Amino acid sequence: EALEEQLAPAGAGSAMSSNWVVHKFGGTSVADAGHYRRVVDVLAGAPGERKAVVVSAMKGMTDELLGLIDRAEAGDDYRPGLEAIRARQWEAYSDLLGDDAPALDDDIKDLGDLLRGAQLVGSADGPVRDVVSGMGEIWSARLLTRFLQSQGKTVQMVDARQFLVVEPGEMGPVVDWDDSQELLSEAGGDDPSEYWVFPGYVARRSSGRPATLGRNGSDYSAAIVGRLLEAEAIHIWTDVDGVMSADPRLVTDARLLSSISYDEALELAYFGAKVLHPQTLAPAIQSDIPVHIRNTFAPEKKGTRIGSGSTGRFEIKGITAVRDVALINVEGTAMVGVPGTARRLFGALKRGNISVVMISQASSEHSICVAVQGPAARSAVELLREEFDDELRGGKLQSIEQQRNLAVLAVVGDAMAGQPGVAARYFSALGDAGINIHAIAQGSSERNISAVIHADDAERGLRAVHSAFYLSPQTLSVGIIGCGNVGGVLIDQIQGELDSLLAESQLDIRVRAIARSRTMLLADRSIDLSSWREELADAGEEADLDKLVDHIHDDHIPHAVLIDCTASEEVALRHADWLARGVHVITANKKGCSAAMPYYQSLREARAGGGSRYLYETTVGAGLPVVQSLRDLRKTGDRVLCVEGIFSGTLAYLFNLYDGTRPFSELVREAWKKGYTEPDPRDDLSGTDVARKLVILAREIGNEIELEDLSVSSLVPEELSGGSVEEFIDGLAAHDQAMQQRFEEARSQGQALRFVGRVADGEQGVVGLTAVDQNHPFAGIDLTDNVVRYVTERYCDNPLVVRGPGAGPEVTAGGVFADLLRLSSMLGAQV
């Protein structure tokens, strides 16, 4: 402290020319007695300057005081509330100063009188409201003054109600600088104290009547004091590390902005970043004083510097939301090419003292859309209907309507100017998150693009846009239905890559639901994938797909994805509903896109309606790029003439093994026992599974085809279609002879037996056992290989062949995972 005293130029000449630094502490910094101690420490950490300390009321105090007025006006009993306020304030005083609570009881008595008056009259006018609501700041300033003095500092309190002169203006209170300057010289005098303590928020009119600077106004007080004292810097101390790229309460990954320009800060504050009152910067800009936003609870951090010029590699600095906004739409021919319409419109709103948040007009001039604060919407519509009464009657204006419950989402950044593609990225981020845009505006400074969206979408929109500009990772809310072979392996595979996807690709995959037929597991943030099996066994709740989908389709996370790893028709028939709700669906389950045509159509419409994606690469050929290749061919203008192939890993395996030395039925029995077939091998041998896959491919090349349209030659003899599996395999022995004969016949021609599906452009398609030449690509395959051959206009003499393992949990799960990454990249992630 000795050093501090030496450095402090106490009593150095006139107040106005000294090295003043303003420190403003918000309500969050002075919530209770312990906080005041911290404030004193923070101040002591900045020696060598004269300190102008501006304080807010204790956290929540202004709300409580305003609440008392409301109660009094409504005729309710305000006294218990008043007593609670006294007690809270007393507690802080007595904790810090012993029993010394200067003037508190007198103030409480005065407040009681004012409130009683308000109760009798049934209303409180402006000055009463200002006196009552400003009392919290007065108490705070007195407390801090006395407490600093008790710590041996030289301090004087300077009451802003004496010198800070404002008059109400359209955009809030307007400072009378000359009067304020003069009055401050009187109020402060040439007091040499190291600390001058000012109550924030409160002010006066030139007539002398009390006034306030509006909610959050202590920030503005600090800047005004800064300008009046010609301060070197203004530090706004609060409960966050500085200005963040979005409200950290809504976007947990919000980044700290180390430096932003005055203009950027203005836009952010205007569009709802509560960390700074929008008027704060004007005085700082006028006197070119840098403003620092800093954390009272982490004073070692540098915080955000707001000044002229900014730096940073991001074109977008921040994203904010203003809630409770209404859009007023004025529509009709009266405005086309008629000068002065806009002037009349804004004139009418001005008469009602209604401020306009945002304006947008189409270049056809057929409609103008203005956004105003929700509570002002009704009177805005009334004023406009009055103003344009003639036009409305004469039919030159069709309507003046309001739309409530909206929010304005604004992206802000100096570097956006002249940068193509920013708007596109912004709007597609909203589109991909399924969020509808009601109106758009961009200022010609190109520093801000605003979009009006539904209020319920605000939080999700904020996050979607935040990640679209790489300010935070792209986050997916994922639910996995079916965790048997494929689903289980998929979860393990995802677990293995989570960390590197987050670190390298800024992709945050949150598996928030896992379900199997009877039970499911839901998690708020994400399920711990290292122990999901145990958790599902212990704590799983009863499976309920509706509940699961609601959970995944959360308002907080921009993108929802359901992964269907079941073989259930019931689940597949819900895909369309999910897609229509805007949930992306990835499926290994074939029963959706091979269902009847009307359902297939509805899947398409649902996707279009919900702006969602449907990925089903693994429904054919497991992880092989079968569907994708087909799509690439078609999209690049090739014409697909025929697709044929071996689409069943089980049947491929059986016919690879079958060389006539052992009866076919025995091979079936062995494969069944080893688990290489479906639980009932007839599901493989009947060819239905292959037929489903062929339907999917046929539809992919544009054939409108039903499963029943295919001609399928089943390997299950008619008389064995009922009965148990054992009975079936026993019965199959009676057909070994016939199979042997087909085999010998083929071999004598130099051919091999293969179970093939084939569909050609405009044809119905066939599935069944055929003989192929030994040098045919279908002949020489291994194990459970699938092989698909595309004959197209480009690939006609030498068709394109895709071949490789077409079954097994590892490769299928890998294919599903690849679909998930493909989806992420469609949504803008850099995978």
The single residue among 18, 119, 180, 218 that binds ligand ASP, judged by CB under 6 A, is 218
Nearest to 743 by CA among 662, 646, 652: 662
Q: What is the DSSP letter of 415?
A: G
Q: How far is the CB of 269 from ligand ADP (least distance, A)?
A: 9
**Are 368 and 336 in contact, with CB atoms under 8 Å apart?**
no
Nearer to Mg ion, 216 or 261 (CB): 216
Site size with ligand ASP, rule: CB under 6 A = 13
Q: How far is the CB of 82 from ligand ASP (least distance, A)?
A: 17
Residues 446-485 that bind ligand ASP (CB under 6 A): none
Stretch that binds Mg ion, among 3-11, 212-220, 338-346, 357-365 (CB under 5 A): 212-220
Torsion of CA 68, 72, 76, 77, to 10 degrees: 60
Residue 275: contacted member of ligand ASP, Mg ion, ligand ADP, none (CB under 5 to 8 Å, by partner type): ligand ADP
**Are 351 and 430 in contact, with CB atoms under 8 Å apart?**
no
Establish if 89 lies at the interface with ligand ASP (CB under 6 A).
Answer: no
Distances (CA, A) of 226 to 61, 109, 169, 204, 320: 25, 34, 21, 18, 27
Q: What is the DSSP letter of 11?
A: T
The single residue among 18, 193, 216, 703 that binds ligand ASP, judged by CB under 6 A, is 216
Stretch that binds ligand ASP, among 211-219, 384-392, 537-545, 569-577 (CB under 6 A): 211-219
Nearer to ligand ASP, 26 or 461 (CB): 26
Establish if 216 lies at the interface with Mg ion (CB under 5 A).
Answer: yes
Q: How far is the CB of 481 from Mg ion (least distance, A)?
A: 46
Nearer to ligand ADP, 246 or 476 (CB): 246
Stretch that binds ligand ASP, among 15-23, 107-115, 213-221, 629-637 (CB under 6 A): 213-221
Q: How far is the CB of 692 from ligand ADP (least distance, A)?
A: 52
Q: How far is the CB of 39 from Mg ion (least distance, A)?
A: 15
Residue 201: contacted member of ligand ASP, Mg ion, ligand ADP, none (CB under 5 to 8 Å, by partner type): ligand ASP
Q: How far is the CB of 9 from Mg ion (least distance, A)?
A: 31
Burial 182-200 (b: 16+ CB within 10 A, else e): ebbeebbeeeebbbbbbbb
Nearer to ligand ADP, 28 or 367 (CB): 28
Residues lying near ligand ADP in the complex (CB under 6 A):
26-29, 56, 216, 238-240, 243-244, 246-249, 268, 273-275, 318
Structure tokens belonging to residue 652:
């491929």
Residue 215: contacted member of ligand ASP, Mg ion, ligand ADP, none (CB under 5 to 8 Å, by partner type): ligand ASP
Nearer to Mg ion, 26 or 623 (CB): 26
Nearer to ligand ADP, 243 or 501 (CB): 243
Nearer to ligand ASP, 30 or 759 (CB): 30
H/E/C letters for each residue in 454-472? EHHHHHHHHHHHHHHCCCC
* Catalytic site residue from 317, 590, 591, 693: 693
The single residue among 23, 26, 155, 813 that binds Mg ion, judged by CB under 5 A, is 26
Give dist(CA 765, CA 760) in Å, integer: 7
**Are 309 and 338 in contact, with CB atoms under 8 Å apart?**
no
Residue 261: contacted member of ligand ADP, Mg ion, ligand ASP, none (CB under 5 to 8 Å, by partner type): none
Nearest to 694 by CA among 628, 621, 777: 621
Q: How far is the CB of 137 from ligand ASP (least distance, A)?
A: 6
User: Which residue's entry shows tokens 């590197």?
Assistant: 500
Nearer to ligand ASP, 213 or 354 (CB): 213
Q: What is the DSSP letter of 749?
A: T
Distances (CA, A) of 260 to 32, 288, 457: 32, 14, 27
The CA-CA-CA angle for residues 274, 308, 267, to 5°, reads 30
- What residues contact 313, with CB distance under 8 A and at least 6 apart? none
Residue 217: contacted member of ligand ADP, ligand ASP, Mg ion, none (CB under 5 to 8 Å, by partner type): ligand ASP
Paired residues of 197 in beta bridges: 53, 157
Structure tokens belonging to residue 398:
């069709």
Q: What is the largest CA-CA distance in the chain?
A: 117
- Pairing, β 291-295 against β 233-238: parallel
Q: How far is the CB of 29 from ligand ADP (least distance, A)?
A: 6
Q: How far is the CB of 61 from Mg ion (least distance, A)?
A: 13
Nearest to 579 by CA among 533, 614, 541, 547: 614
H/E/C letters for each residue in 116-152? HHHHHHCCCCHHHHHHHHCHHHHHHHHHHHHHHHHCC
The torsion angles phi and psi of 507, rounded to 5 degrees, stand at: -115, 125
The CA-CA-CA angle for residues 720, 724, 727, to 5°, reads 60
Residues 250-269 that bind ligand ASP (CB under 6 A): none
Q: Is 350 a catalytic residue?
A: no
Q: How far is the CB of 203 from ligand ASP (least distance, A)?
A: 12
Stretch that binds Mg ion, among 22-30, 84-92, 420-428, 467-475 (CB under 5 A): 22-30
x/- map, 48-77, ligand ASP, by CB under 6 A: --------xx----x---------------
Give dist(CA 140, CA 107) in Å, integer: 13
Nearer to ligand ADP, 216 or 506 (CB): 216
Q: Is 78 helix (H, G, I), strand (E, B) or coil?
A: coil
One DSSP character per residue, 760-812 reads ETTS--EEEEEEEETTSTTTS--TTEEEEEEEESSSSSS-EEEEEE---HHHH
Structure tokens belonging to residue 62:
């202004």
Residues 122-141 that bind ligand ASP (CB under 6 A): 136
The single residue among 8, 21, 26, 330 that binds ligand ASP, judged by CB under 6 A, is 26
The CA-CA-CA angle for residues 70, 76, 80, to 5°, reads 90
Nearer to ligand ASP, 86 or 317 (CB): 86
Establish if 677 lies at the interface with ligand ASP (CB under 6 A).
Answer: no
Interface with Mg ion (CB under 5 A): 26, 216
What residues are annotated to the active site? 693
Interface with ligand ASP (CB under 6 A): 26-27, 56-57, 62, 136, 200-201, 215-219
